[in-house]
Amino acid sequence: MSVFSYICVIRTQKACDIKFKIAIFTTLYSYPGNKSELLPEHANSHQENKHSMKHIFVSSAASIKKMKEHRLFKKFSFFTLGISTTIWFLIRVIPKPSRAAYPCMQASAPIMSAFVLYLLSITGGITAWMKAKTFIKNRKYGYAAIFVVAALVCALTVAVQNSDTLYSQVKSVVNPTKMLMGSNAPVGTAKGINPGRVVWVHNPGVSNWDGETGFWFEDRWNSQEKATNMVTNALGNLTGDKNEKKAWAKLFTSFNKSGNRGNHGYINTEKIAIKVNENNTYSHNDSPEINVSPQLVYALVKSLVTQGGVPQNRITVFDASRFITDYTFNKCHSEFPEVIFIDNIGGEGRTKSTYKSEAMHYSKDNGKLARGLATCAVEADYLINVALLKGHVGQGVTLCGKNWYGATDINADWRKNAHNNFDQDRNGGNKYVTFVDYMGHKDLGGKTMLYIIDGFYGAKAVNGLPKPMWKMKPFNGNWPCSLFASQDPVAIDAVALDFISSEWPDAPDMNYADGYLLEAAKANNPPSGTTYDPENDGIKLNSLGVLEHWNNATSKQYSRNMGKKTGIELVAVQ
């Protein structure tokens, strides 16, 4: 890649960053009241919350994002990169053709080729059309037809390979995602009735929000019937038993046997807690940002009660660090009034979370990172981890592994919390990652019988509205309308990471985002050399699951899909 091309990209990004900072400064400077009123602790109502620094950040970032997604920005970037790489390639290769084999030249070649093809299609189309008009004027219709066809071919090429499309291709070449593990090279020990199985249910139409009207989570935009069917299909395909009651019985029995808890299913005195992700909530008032889908929570609770044989009063839905918002609570509570909802503040039908102090021991010094665990998790007999399909600055993604952070005694204001060792090594090195301790702790991952990732909408960023829509097949410009389920905590996050990194290779901190999964898969002998012992009992963790990456984003094949006896098996339910 030419140095000049990189400078263009960097300068463009810096310009966006400067405009973003100016927007923040202007907002603070022009605010007529006390500047401290903009802080979350002064925002007691939903209206005041809109003045919080987080909302200012989201609003300003959204404006910058909109500018960067504008067609003029894409065209400018495409032509700037195209011209610079073409010049760079010609200057370097013409004097010495052997330089074409250099890595920098191989990186420049696709961008140059796309640019040249685009220019040739335009100029060729115009030239062919002018020639056709000349032959028609001279009544040479045979020649005219040939040039008309040539013009149409060029026009079709431009239409299919327009500058916006080529810009997206250029971005993926400039910023290819790097992972620690390659394709179809499984490591770790697969978990589950069907080891390493991850079920992906894709049901178009379960999510239909237009991106503008009302809230994305309202029932008018989401099909409860389809959401319920997706949970049923996930359970059936995960266990191999399409009878939903038998599928739940198999899950309970499998979990108990694997944990040396006896060869039995659910006993109606046992407690089950569902950890949902409500990270972008600020009170019980509904938040427009991406959070767990109310339709999924309802479908899961209904399935547990009517098919799993679990009494309502033995079920807890919780996010100890955030807030269970009104829409989710009211939707579920109206039909299942005995189900317990626990959040950070309690009240209005919710229960305030309590914690068991010093329950979390970290395998390395994590400074002031929270050590208390939610009592509802500690006292539960079973857990279900319901994460979201979205990116996250710092560690690339926030999936089932990160979701456990919300079960600790952190502050509802994220700025006041420590985040030690959450991120991967930026250079692709091996390091201790906190998530592995969560995944292996006896009161978190050790109690989890089922892992679910809510991909009804998904998001590129950690906060803000669900967006953008997904371009990869089979989504094709729509919401992903997907649900992932597994008994293997490593495998399900690995699959979700493949989806997210393939869709958004340019998302923040996506490089080496599989670092925590490699540590978890090899927890008994991790690359970092860490002795993972989250209970500090002298017993180190064994492998927590299996990690591998698919062959490509088109066929989405893992090792077990190719007939091998190790690795991940992705079961797609369309």
**C-alpha of 7 from chain center:** 29
Q: Is residue 493 domain-resident?
A: yes
pLDDT digits 0-9 by tens, 451-469 = 999 999 999 999 999 999 9
Is the model's pLDDT at 72 over the cut of 70? Answer: no
Neighbour count for residue 134 (Cβ, 10 Å): 13
Q: What is the pLDDT of residue 36?
A: 39
- Mean pLDDT in residue range 235-249: 98
In whole angstroms, give the CA distance from residue 447 to residue 465. 32
In whole angstroms, give the CA distance from residue 44 to residue 84. 52
- Residue 276 identity (one-letter amino acid): V
Q: What is the pLDDT of residue 102?
A: 54
In whole angstroms, give the CA distance from residue 400 to residue 455. 12
Last residue of a domain, one of 111, 142, 174: 174
Last residue of a domain, one of 174, 198, 213: 174
Q: Range with the lowest mean pLDDT among 163-172, 204-213, 481-490?
A: 163-172
In this structure, are 192 and 169 located in the same domain? Answer: no
Q: Is residue 472 domain-resident?
A: yes
Q: What is the pLDDT of residue 228?
A: 98
In the chain, pLDDT over 90 holds for what percent of residues? 67
- Mean pLDDT in residue range 411-437: 93
In this structure, are 451 and 504 located in the same domain? Answer: yes
Q: Which one has a higher pLDDT value, 97 or 6?
A: 97
Mean pLDDT of the chain: 85
Q: Tally the residues of the chain.
A: 574
pLDDT digits 0-9 by tens, 76-122 = 766 777 788 788 778 877 887 755 655 465 556 666 776 777 777 78
Q: Is residue 182 domain-resident?
A: no
In this structure, are 556 and 509 located in the same domain? Answer: yes
Residue found by looking up tokens 């500018």 in the block: 67
In this structure, are 143 and 229 located in the same domain? Answer: no
In this structure, are 248 and 166 located in the same domain? Answer: no
Q: Is residue 179 domain-resident?
A: no
Q: What is the pLDDT of residue 88?
A: 76
Q: Determine contact, residues 507/477, Cβ cutoff 8 Å.
A: no
Residue 342 contacts by C-beta under 8 Å, 6 or more apart in sequence?
316, 317, 318, 319, 320, 324, 350, 351, 352, 353, 374, 376
Q: What is the pLDDT of residue 157?
A: 66
Q: What is the pLDDT of residue 340?
A: 98
Is the model's pLDDT at 287 over the cut of 50? Answer: yes
In this structure, are 445 and 478 located in the same domain? Answer: yes
Q: Determine contact, residues 287/319, Cβ cutoff 8 Å.
A: no
Q: What is the pLDDT of residue 55?
A: 52
In whole angstroms, give the CA distance from residue 420 to residue 365. 9
In this structure, are 427 and 547 located in the same domain? Answer: yes
In this structure, are 154 and 205 located in the same domain? Answer: no
- Mean pLDDT in residue range 321-331: 98
Residue found by looking up tokens 């299919």 in the block: 160
Is the model's pLDDT at 539 over the cut of 80? Answer: yes
In this structure, are 167 and 203 located in the same domain? Answer: no
What is the three-class DSSP state of 229?
helix
Q: Determine contact, residues 435/516, Cβ cutoff 8 Å.
A: yes
Q: Which one has a higher pLDDT value, 562 or 141?
A: 562
On the 0-12 / 13-18 / 19+ scale of CB atoms within 10 A, 29 is: exposed
Q: Give residue 399's domain range.
A: 187-573
In this structure, are 219 and 305 located in the same domain? Answer: yes
In this structure, are 433 and 342 located in the same domain? Answer: yes
Q: Is residue 181 domain-resident?
A: no
Q: What pTM was estimated for this model as a whole?
A: 0.74
Q: Is residue 138 domain-resident?
A: yes
Phi-psi region of 39 (alpha: psi -120 to 50; beta: other; left: phi over 0): beta
pLDDT digits 0-9 by tens, 359-380 = 999 999 999 999 999 999 999 9
The total domain count for the chain is 2
In whole angstroms, give the CA distance from residue 459 to residue 306. 32
Last residue of a domain, one of 146, 174, 202: 174
In this structure, are 198 and 92 located in the same domain? Answer: no
Q: Is residue 463 domain-resident?
A: yes
Is the model's pLDDT at 172 over the cut of 70? Answer: no
In the chain, pLDDT over 70 holds for what percent of residues? 80
Q: Is residue 422 domain-resident?
A: yes
In whole angstroms, give the CA distance from residue 338 to residue 179. 45
Q: How confident is the model at residue 16 (pLDDT cuts 50, 70, 90)?
A: very low
